[in-house]
Each structure stands twice: as C-alpha cells, then as structure tokens.
Structure 1
Amino acid sequence: MASNEILLVTGGNTGLGFETVKSLCQSEKAYTILLGGRSLEKANAAVENVRVDFPQSASTVKAIQVDIEDDDSISRAYEQVDSEYGRLDILINNAGVQVDQQVLGGKMTMRQAWNKSWDVNTTGTQLMTYTFVPLLLQSANPRIIFIASGTSTLAEQEKETLWVDRPAQKGWPKQPMEMGPGAYRSSKTGMNMMMREWARILKADGVKVWAVSPGMLATGLGGNPELLKKMGALDPQVGADIIRDVVEGGRDHEIGKVIRKDNVQPW
C-alpha cells in the first residue's frame, strides 16, 4: 500500500492535465500520480515523457485508462485503484471538451455539440466523482478539484469584460465569433453548481472540494493553441501551478469556491 498521497488526474496526457502532472512532479512532496487518459497508449507515452523530463522527481507517475464518457471505463478505473491502493487522496477532474467550433465548421450539429459538452464537462465528471467517493472516504485528507472556466461566471458576464460577453450586432444570422462558446461555458456553469453540491454532500465527511478557474490557456481545448496565444492565452503551466497550490493546501481557507490565481471567481 502506497504511503504517498495518491492522486488521479483525468485527461492527464495532454493540455492542462499534463502540465498539472509535471507541476506536481516538481514538488518536494512525493505523490503517487495516476495519469488518466482515454487511450492507455497515449497515457503511457505521457508518463514516459514525464519520467524523462523529471528523473529526480520524488513522485511516481503511472498510467491508467479512464474515459469519463464510458461508465464501464470509469468502473474499471475504480476497481484498479481500489485493488492496487485501497484509497484515493486527491481527484482532479480535469477531462473536458470545448466543441462549439465544430458546429461552425459543420463537423457537428448544434445538438451534438451541446450534448457532448454537457456529457463530458458535467455529466461525465459527476459520474467519475460519484464512483470514486468510496475511495476518497478512505483517505485521511481527501480532496476533489474540478476545472472551471473564466467564461462560466454569471456575475461577471454582464460586465462585458471578455470578448465572449460583448453583445452581438443586430440581425440574423450572427457572425461565427458572435455566437461564442455557449455550449462550453454553459456546461462549466452547471459544473460550478455540481461542485457546490459535492461540497455540501461531503462536508460532514471532511472532503475538501474546490473548482479551479485557471484562466485562458494556450492548450488544444479550443482547437488552436497558437491562435489562443495571439488572443492573450497564458502558458498552461500557470493554471497547473494554481491546481498544485490547491492540492498542497494553499487555498484551504477557500473551500467550496471557484479559485483563481489571485482571488476567488464570482458566481
């Protein structure tokens, strides 16, 4: 049985999830990190990359297959963690999608895009969390982290600070950019309430729950990292370091909140 804290990151082989694994590997604290991926082959390749980049890391990184759109995959991942470790200390619900642009490109219908957004970002994340709660309750210091979005805040939407919040021009049809990532941001707003529900449900059990809003990052989530950089997106490491700070207790005074780097995101 591992004495290190056992940490599972969904969607850990790419983007923010992968950067989070790398950030944790640079910690002085030793973790057993389970790098989750839909493809075990890709997860194993990511693990090998981490081992090459951080050969002196105090942590151990292992690949695990988990697809949060597949209930059987979630159940198999649970059984594997239960069999090998008997507990889970930290669950980082990182896996997510942003597919609004697929509608504009004619690759998905609007219904498909909205269903996919909610199925992964909200429903799949809910089922992943629900399945792993029994293992989290075996931990002495259980933590659950959800990945929110700066576009999910209702309170700030009307301020029109972000380009996605600015009113569209009169007339129909609207320009593609004016339609914005409605499916993505709505599913993340729903996820914020899901996080609040888990904070309520597990409060008496001593499970600490947060969402992290990492800011606009130059990852493949939006389809084009280089375009995102031109729009001011930050290096994914910035978001990863916020997650690591939450993991290591730096935001324990803000449980149940959506955490930003320097403040708490309004609802």
Structure 2
Amino acid sequence: MIITDTHTHLYSEAFDEDRYEMIKRALSQNVSRFFIPAIDSTYTNSMLQLEQDFPEHIFLMMGLHPTHVKENYKEELKHVEDMLAKRRFYAVGEIGIDLYWDKSTLGIQQEAFKHQIQLAKKYKLPIAIHCREAFDEIFEVLETEKSVDLFGIFHCFTGTLEQAHQAISYNMKLGIGGVATFKNGKIDQFLNQINLQHIVLETDAPYLAPVPYRGKRNESVYIIKVLERLSYIYNISLEEIAEITTQNSKEVFGI
C-alpha cells in the first residue's frame, strides 16, 4: 500500500526538533510520497534540502502563498519565475486567495494568483489552490483562466457540494484532509456523492490535525486517520482508498 500526502509543509519550523524522525514515522506506515507546497522565497533552501535528503519521496512545488502577497510581491513572483525556469517542479503552489487575514490585499492577491496560473500553463504544470473565505473570488479567476491546460488540486477543500462540483468542473481534484474527521467539518456529509476519482489525500501538516489529534501539531503519518475516515464514508477498504487517491495524485503531478 502506497499512501500519498499531496500537501505537507515538512520544512515548517514546527518540525525543527524532530523533522527526520517525523518523516521516518510516516515512511514506516507506507506514507511514502510527499508533495511540498511553497510559501515564499525564504523557505526555498529548506525545501531543496528536504528533496536532497529524501530524493525518492519528496516532490516540490513552487509558488507564492496568498497570505504572503505583500508589498514585495513582484519580487517574490520573480523568484517563482526564476525557480520554475531553472529546474523541475511538480506544481505551482500553493497559490490562491485568502480573505480571512487581510481583505485589503485582494487586488494584488488576484493579480498574483492569475499570474501564477499563467506560469503553470506555460510549464504545463498543475496548480495547488489555497482558498480561505474566498470561493467566489477564486472561481472568478478560474473562470477567466479555464482551459484544457488548467488543472490541479483544490487544497484543503471545505466548501459545499455545489462548490465541490464547480471546482471539479475546472479540472481540479479535491484535497481532503483532517477537516473530514471533524464533527463540524460538514464535507463528510456529502463526500460519498463525489466520485473518488476526484479526491486526493493531504495533511497540510503542521496544520489541521485530524481527530483525535485536533488542536495539536499535525504530521504526515496522521493521514492514516483521513484514510480511515474516507474508508468509512465510501465503505471500501483502506487499501482501495490509498490506491485510488495515489493514482489520482499521479495523474495530477505526472509522477
């Protein structure tokens, strides 16, 4: 059984004390494919080091996170462009719009999101979308950019069934993580109405730990709890969930 974590921040400061032990815990439980989203240029070297240390298991993305779209965002986008031109990445992400922390930057967030989608198309790469309190704004940009070469993952999907279908209509898989295990997570109430071919697994570690670890530091091995929840929701075996979602991840990332 191969389990794929399509979104995990293994370079986070939250893992500075035990990063390699934490990764090995995941590997020991068949979590063996880790896709690493970028935040901004300050994390690039840490990401490259992780890839060097675990070359068979770590797959890097490149992008500017919407909460880090600030006054220097054009410099940061130039860094994204330079890195994409220099070497292989497996997605442009995480990118998107976040209106939870700061609504005043909506304009430049939209600009950065659209620019990075166009970079993804240029390099024929998927995108990993971050959306927080911004479904309408995200869909507005996706509508203007929709094409056969727009595809990717709607990371940490927390929307409604209708929004799920809309995301899927833009060639997006739904990234399902710890929220599916929450009592008030809501997505568990309709997930079985969505074909598993549209689902990938993720942790977003160190954030959004699943029950029974909710409120604590998340780590990639906890994806097992997400796997178990989906096995219950879809009423099929853990092995089948792992196989289908890993195959879906291969279709998105090309590896």
Is TM > 0.5 for Structure 1 vs Structure 2? no
What band does the TM-score fall into relative to the shorter chain?
A: 0.3 to 0.5
Q: Rg: which structure is higher?
A: 1
